[in-house]
Every structure is written in C-alpha cells, then in structure tokens.
Structure 1
C-alpha cells in the first residue's frame, strides 16, 4: 500500500464524486492499485482559476473496473473517510513545494507533477496533512516516516517520541478533527454568512457567529463534506435541525406550518427567499442531502 495523489477538477469529463468515487483511465491503473486500502490526497490543478491546491484526504476502499465505461476504472472511496482540509494547501508554498517528490535532481518540477494519479512518500503526505488540517497541537503529531518532526518546510529534526504511521492515520477519523475542519470548510465556502438570514456577524474576538450545520446529520450517515453543510446562525441552525425550516430543490427556504410564529420566522429570511449558496458549484448543497432533510426532518 502507498499514499497517493488524485488530481481532480469539478469541470472535468470524468464521473468523479470525491467523497464517493474517482474515475480514471487504464493508464493509471497500476499506480491507483498501489493506493488501494490506503489514503490519498486530492489536488486541484494549478490551471483551475483560484485553485484550491491540495484540498482533501480520503481512503481508497477498492479499485474496480467501471461497469459503464470500457477501459475506465473507479477508485471507490471508503464511506465516511473523506475529509476536506480546513486550510487548503497550495501546490507552491512559501517559496518551495509541499510535494517534494515532484522535483527532479536539479530541484525543478518534473513531468511527474502532471500525472493525475501518483504515489507520494510518507513525509510528503504528512507535510500536506500537517498544513491542511491546521491547529496542529490538537490534530496530528508532526512526525515523519522515520520519526522526523515536520514544521512547515523546516528541516527534519529528531522528535521526542515516535508514533506509528498507522496510529497517526487513525487520527484522521477522529470526531474532533473532522468537526473542526468541517466548520472551517463550510464557513469559508459561505464567507461566514448565514445561508438563511444573510447576516455575517463577527464577534469582538474576530470569530464568526455562525455554525456549520450538517444537512444530513452524521448520526444519520451524513458525510463531513461541504456539499452536506450550511452556514447557519445559532437560531437558524436550531430551527433547521428541528425541521421548522427546510430547503426545496431550487434552494427556496421553506417554513413549516408547525412553526409557532411563522411571521417571525419568515421575517428572518433574507430578501431573496433562497439560501445564500457558495460561489463554487461544487460547494453548494447536493440535492440528495436537501431532499433527505426535507423527507426526514422537515415538518410539512
């Protein structure tokens, strides 16, 4: 098994849903097979306007032939493993490159950087994870393959303790880490603005007074992905979770007939009558999650 990079762009011709599957041609099969059962990092190409760079991590459950497209294959992503980075990592960072494996012997970027599927070294993987997940003291030990401490692009130094690689990998699934990065990702996508009220409130400490709400809750098999999230004020979040407000397929905000004071609730809704959705299409709520909430939570 090996860590890897999967290159993805939302407007590509491939049938990708990063949290579920990654489609690729046969030429990349041997490389993708090396990542089967292990973790990969998603990279948005530099050619994409306002690229996010390295933007998420996920575990490849298995590689299968695409039953609907001859010569194509699918990397099936393990359910619940996908995690957006709270802090997307640029390909070129602080005058250097995060993924040092793309450099040739002269320190220049090689043709390897163009490969849509490629394996990466343990130190490169953990360097990207370290930068992408932020708040390092509560997330992952900055320990490399041979117990080297990774601090940005500092030289590797001896660590005071060595934590096994697979133990560190397991930490990618912890609830605290996933909740924190889900909040960062959702608030960035919505510009820290409540999707229902349209208000962007920042407290005296500079912290946004909105919360990251799962449309389909985690306890009901909802994934920690931005398209399953809404940025909501505390009150709007409370009403959404209790089914007093919902969203239709055209993003119009619905108010339940069971709301005690419909006029007050309707008065909270922004003038458009629709949720204020992210600019990026890929970050907007997916219909399957909106419909799940409407069918299972919203009080008609």
Structure 2
C-alpha cells in the first residue's frame, strides 16, 4: 500500500484537531498540478513544519480538485482550517496577491481525519530530507514505510478504543486494507465534487452564476442516498427546490420531466414547462460521474409528483 506524508501548517492542524471535523480540506494556495501520488482511499498523513518534525495525524484521500476560493469556503467552511472566510481568504491572498478576487486553489479532500495527542506524535522517517517542501510518498512494501504505517495503525487502534468512533477495516494479509471511503464521503466533499464535475454549470439551464448553484442529491442523504457524484445533479437553486419537492425529475435517458402539479397548485410555472422533455444541457464528462439510472429511477418512483 502506498501512502503520503504532506507538510502542513501548525495552525491548520491545531485548529482542526480542536474541532474534530468529519472531513478536511488540505489546501495549497499555489497548487496547479494534479495530485496522482496515491489512490482514492489511501492514507494521507500530516507532518508539521520544522522544527516540529513529527507525523501528527492524517486522513484518507478522496479527491484532488481545483476550486475557486469562494466555493472552497462555501463547501468546507471551517473544515479548511480557519474560523472565518476573511481569515481563510487572507491565508490564500498573501500568496496570490494581484491574481483577482476569487483565485482557483488546489484542494485535497480527506475523509475520516484523525489527530494524535502530543504524546503520540510519530518522528519523521529517517530518510526524510530537509529539502522536502510539499510531502513525500511511502510504501508499506518497504521497511521504512512499513514501520511508519505500523505506528499509525497502533495509534488509530488507541483512538478507536478511547473514543469509540473511528472504525478501521479488519486487517488484510499484511498491513491492513485501505478504508472503504465511498460510504463516508461527507456533504462538503459531495458539494465540491458535484460542482467540479458539472464544471460550474446547472445541468438543466447551464446557469453559471456560482452563488445560485447547488449540489442536489437525487436520492436524498436522509433516505440513505450516498454522497457520490453519480447521486448528484448541479442545479440552479429554484430547480433544486422543485426537484427535491417532486415537481421535477430526470428520466433514465437524462430528459427533464415537469409535473402538472405546478400548474394545478400554483397556476404558474410557464418558465419550467419550457424545459419539459428536453435533454439535460450539461453533464459530467466522465461516465462514472453522470447520474446513475438506479438513483434516477428511485426519484421518479418515490419523489416525483407526475
């Protein structure tokens, strides 16, 4: 198994350790390259800046995205490691001065974060170079990586027993399976991934004004709908409301259906009926991110007021 040790800011770590969120955004203000070092679900560990040369916690890798600063805050809020938007923005803009009001930053989304007490901090590997600025990957197939991961697992076991919350899969043949993260992706990650997959445009109208775009669950989270992109649609806020209330749905072949109930109940809806029978105008490029027929059928049968 391959895992990553990323260098992080002390204030970011201590703030999040205090709040104990269910997911975090490990952001980088100048990041412009894809993060392809580890696979989805692999551990991503936190190492503080020198002289605090210790591994102090970590999480499990969900996705690496490039998001506008405003969306990053709207999606993750204090999970970015800052108490306010102004404080978060200042942390970014001191590196991006003169680059506009809403620059795009790199966001490494992690789920199931864990934070070690000071007494449990792990010394950095012996081959860690002082020249490393961002981070370094290791493998449990090699002795140094195996030693680090063994220490992490030991502390995770202590956290599990102490808090009764953190659940790690049963060990595999050697160093343990990677965590099954698909069912644990949080609401913040869901919003960010759906918005990115739809390239900041409403699936129905192609509206691109970011503040009015919302990530809608096809099968609601309250009905055991997962936080997966294939269970999501990026919709303009009014479309989102109609979709959630059953006045609108999407067929298996991605056509919009608008219920007659809008006209019957409100004597209105001319704008919305104009979309009836039309193909969705915007879909994710990757098939795996496109709306799942299973979730669409559930919405048609359980929510739609046709």
Q: TM-score if structure 2 supplies the norm length?
A: 0.47
